[in-house]
Structure 1
């Protein structure tokens, strides 16, 4: 007698209980960070660098404020590397997020309390950058830690809500905080982000019993820095036919050494994205100061609205949300069908071109202002449209590139390095502005519109170099070809 098999009902996947706490924490934290960013550069000029609005001090004061803002951003994007090391090697993600969130709150307390004391206000910025950057590499990974084989099918949905919370928090803060600064003063305007960060910390702490906590793994000697430094100091051991990093295979795990090779190959691509990061954060600093000199009344047909300097930054978030599905579900597939394959390298190149065009628009606006004009803010909206499209092509593609072109053991390292490129771009722009503020050798050549035209030229140099180098780049996609022999470099001409 044949037995009838019993059907086993598949248990429906459930979201981890920790998810609401993580999403709520992220939305409040991003509101806090971008709320502060939305008014930082205008506040520094008005409060510390040119409080009398002396026209003779305008260039120096604005350059000084821009430099301070870019150095703040650079520290924010350097700290993810240290935060990740602290979490993975020593303390675990939960403790690092909690401790650095408290540092973050302390920084907000300083910025809201010491709005007339530059040294103490700057101390607050350093604390905020340390906290915001330090938890950045931990929060995203903490989301993935909550899932197992029983509910991993829901992970993409949760990451969708996670990134939605980031954009929702930033959009609300871009609209609210500049209004608060204008109507309620700097203490309230900086206090609101502080309150939201305190709320974010409370939300995160409230979920402490719900989190899956991955314990720290201790110091891993097979890491990017140790292997690269060893190879550099032992390059005399290199034999014919070997790469420089091959000399490290005797002292380190050979598979890890191959992974480091992949990291260096991808860093070659990331070098060209540096042009993008040198200029991108200017939309939250230099562009804000420029908007203060424009006609900010925009006629939407059925009503008019006068934007406060800083509020126009919401344009980037809006168009980013619009462009992501348009590029992924319409532009890329259509171009592929036409035979114009949208490889990652081609997206990078197109993104750099759009970045340059956005700065051409900004330079033309500044030329008009320099000649006594008062151009409409619609021109900046157009520049934001171009920059938002470039962000999809460069920034989002860069994160995909970091993931697909690095082995499993190196994916966290690649993400950290990608963020380090953002930091380096802001350091370069900060140093340029610092030189101008101190009346250095760049000051006479980067006045008014020339400032932006110089950056257009800089991006153009990167674009031309990229056109020559990209066809010769030897790359390996670890998603498409995971089984390829780990000692063989696969050349993918894109």
Structure 2
């Protein structure tokens, strides 16, 4: 019986396929090089992101908190939103490998700036640090750091007045000019070395964007013929490596930056980036490198333009005939033989050759499939808006809580704890990373295989919805903690705080341990295991082969939209949740209301996503589809197979719901696409 179960043609995973073993080893080496590269790249990325707000907010730069937070939002926005161009360049011109090499060079070029933005290898609290001379002198910048100390050290009476207003019944900002402090709104152009910081951030962001768009699909290309389970496993381990890099950077690099020196804190991750680039280039001999497919985005717009210009031909004439729809005789005979029940073609269908258009069936259907993908990406925006709070508002909340586990402050003990150990605020992000590192292997090795074995599969739709709910719970917990923190701060006429020093910068903190933030970070991490991993898998699996880089770029683009929306909402709630007259810290604002708003927005997003994904059958792969993909993996190891991704099984489901019955050419293209992209596009001979 075992012999009967053995396929006639051994697949690459067969135990007896000796000739294939070198190729399998080569594939493993390629995947290993890509995963190692991603790990080192993430160390470098989180070396910037983890403490950027703190770096700009402390000596020698002393940026105002809102400008520091907006710099981080700008950086993450560039890193994510411009990734679509990196994907387009890879798909249309250079290919993924060459695009990644160029992107890494740009990435490294920007990273060189950061150690020299803080050229002080060994710094103590008594040493005076100044803005590096190469940045140039900013005449509008006051070098007296005392002006940026807490308001209590400048004008205690004003502080008490402010706090009494905060503790009032209304809880909203008051524009009374008597409450204004000396901390006027400072424009970004007046911040020291703003041009150098933004130049470095832009270069790193652009390089990172192209890497982000291409490295995941490039890695998935290495296993695209190994079956959908292998693809899922690759994405799980890819995301696991992302978080290994994040854990290392946030755990070690952030400690070096906060407690030792930002010079070494930026030099070490810069060296890690260099190591990752070397590993990636050395792996070239093992990679499966696909040539670029052509200008996909250009053809998408051409198809949309042609279909819109020909949309009048899709409507039947008043007498009930087929009107002006142009079809070949075989299709007309086929339509008449099965009766009038076939639906009318969609607007985009009018660009197909069979309806008188100029484009091949497969490429038009590829463009049509983008609709569902874009809908999911848009519905994920509220999730990313909540997710990026970890690196901004969660961090600012932690800086105003007790960082020293052994210090017990009182009203007169202001500076005793300056030399004590303090938990780096960025360490709280480790709880997010830890949950990802723990639960991804558990789900990949235990839960998902066990469910598959018993015929149950957690669909991508369910995983995304569950992740959204967990993110909602996380931000609501953050809001509850902030309400509790502000309640303690406002006791005793606003005197219930102590001055917490981080380097030469002071924060008004309350006697609430920063460890109380662990649950909100942990829930964000658990939400990543479901929503973020499933979203990444959805982006690749639903992308036509010719558009993988572009689709992945669009996925990261909407990540960036979520990040920039965070900045937009902060400005939108100016003088409502965030108050003008207390720029120096968050104690004069209502960050808790902001968290509650985000929680409500994310919960609404869950409801909308659930309804739309159910209505359009998005992100569902049933057992029969997985079995069909597995059979094609065993027996269909050829150049036209698409079983390297989940898109084949998903497309087989979608084909049942197509408004237009596929022609024989389309039926063949469901299994594979023509190797040459020119076969898909305009051809006068067609």
2:215 matched to 1:139? yes
User: 258-267 or 477-486: which moved more?
Assistant: 477-486
The answer to whether residue 563 in structure 2 is matched with residue 456 in structure 1 is: no
Aligned partners of 1:336 and 1:326: how far apart in 2?
14
Tell me the SS of whatever aligns to 1:251: coil
Cα contact 2:236–2:533 (8 A) shared by 1: no
For 1:49-448, what aligned pairs fall within 5 Å after superposition? 50=62, 61-115=64-118, 116=131, 117-145=193-221, 162-208=238-284, 211-220=287-296, 223-228=299-304, 230-231=306-307, 235=311, 238-239=314-315, 241-249=344-352, 250-297=357-404, 306-327=422-443, 342-371=458-487, 372=489, 373-435=510-572, 439=574, 443=578, 447-448=590-591
Q: Give distance in 2, aligned partners of 1:127 and 1:360.
A: 35
Which range moved further: 335-344 or 274-283?
335-344
Question: Equivalent of 1:24, from 36, 47, 54?
Answer: 36
- Give the direction of change, closer, same or farther, for the CA distance of 1:150–1:263 in structure 2 (3 Å limit): closer
Q: TM-score normalised to the size of structure 1? A: 0.81
Greater fraction of residues in helix: 1
Instruction: Write the distance in 2 (CA, Å) between the matches of 1:413 and 1:93.
Output: 11
Give 1:454 deviation, angstroms. Answer: 1.6
CA offset at residue 348 of structure 1? 2.6
**Bigger mean CA deviation after superposition, 193-202 or 35-44:** 193-202
- Contact persistence 1:73–1:423 (CA under 8 A): yes
Distance 1:195 1:343, change over 3 A: closer
Higher alpha-carbon deviation: 411-420 or 306-315 = 411-420
Distance (Å, rounded) in 1 between the aligned partners of 2:233 and 2:369? 30
1:489 aligns with 2:658: yes
Per-residue CA deviation, residues 281-336 of structure 1 (Å, 9 max, x unaligned), is 1112221121112233569xxxx984211122111111012222444566678999
User: How far has the Cα of 1:109 moved from its partner?
Assistant: 1.3
The residue that corresponds to 2:177 in the other structure is: none
- Partners of 1:108 and 1:401 in 2: how far apart? 31
Mind listing any 5+ residue stretches in structure 1 that lack a counterpart?
1-6, 52-60
Distance 1:163 1:454, change over 3 A: closer
Match of 1:465?
608
CA distance in 2, matches of 1:350, 1:237: 44
RCO greater where, 1 or 2, for CA within 8 Å and sep 6 or more? 2
Contact kept in structure 2, 1:351 and 1:391, CA below 8 Å: yes
Could you say what secondary structure the match of 2:481 adopts?
Answer: helix
Partners of 2:575 and 2:234 in 1: how far apart? 49
Aligned residues of 1:258 and 1:486 also touching (Cα < 8 A): no
* Distance in 2 (alpha carbons) for counterparts of 1:326 and 1:20: 20
Corresponding residue for 1:54? Answer: none
Instruction: Report the counterpart of residue 15 of structure 1 in structure 2.
Output: 25
**Distance in 1 (alpha carbons) for counterparts of 2:455 and 2:209:** 41
Q: RMSD across aligned C-alpha pairs, in angstroms?
A: 3.8
Deviations 1:236-291 (A, max 9, x none): 55536343322332132222222222220232233221110111011122211211
* Number of aligned positions between the proteins: 469
> Larger deviation: 256-265 or 409-418?
409-418
Deviation at 1:194, TM superposition (A): 1.9
Q: Structure 1 48/63 Cα, relative in aligned 2: closer, same or farther at 3 Å?
A: farther
Distance change in 2, residues 1:406/1:209 (3 Å): closer
Q: Distance in 2 between matches of 1:65 and 1:330?
A: 43
**Mapped partners of 1:80, 1:364: distance in 2:** 35
Taking the aligned partners of 2:351 and 2:577, their CA distance within structure 1 comes to 43
Per-residue CA distance 1:432-463 (angstroms, 9 max, x = gap) = 23556xx5777459733122122112213223
471-480 or 81-90, which moves further after superposition? 471-480
1:374 to 1:449, Cα distance in 2 relative to 1, 3 A:
farther
Rounded to whole Å, the distance in 1 between the matches of 2:227 and 2:542 is 26
What SS is found at the alignment partner of 1:375?
strand
Query: Using the alignment, how far apart are the partners of 1:237 and 1:440 within structure 2?
Result: 55
User: Is the Cα–Cα contact under 8 Å of residues 104 and 130 in structure 1 kept in the other structure?
Assistant: yes
Change (3 A) 1:139 1:480: closer
How far off is 1:118 after superposition?
1.8
Provide closer, same or farther for how the CA distance between residues 97 and 316 of structure 1 changes in structure 2, counting only shifts above 3 A: same
Q: TM-score, normalised by structure 2?
A: 0.60
My pick for the range that moved more, 271-280 or 468-477, is 468-477
The C-alpha deviation readout for 1:205-258, integer Å capped at 9, x for no partner, is 444555444333333478544434554566555536343322332132222222
- Residues 213 and 286 of structure 1, relative CA distance in 2, 3 Å threshold: same
Distance in 1 (alpha carbons) for counterparts of 2:387 and 2:256: 25
Partners of 1:263 and 1:471 lie apart in 2 by 17
Residues 29 and 122 (structure 1 numbering): CA distance in 2 closer, same or farther, change over 3 Å?
A: same
Residue 231 and residue 368 in structure 1: after superposition, are their counterparts in 2 closer, same or farther (change >3 A)? farther
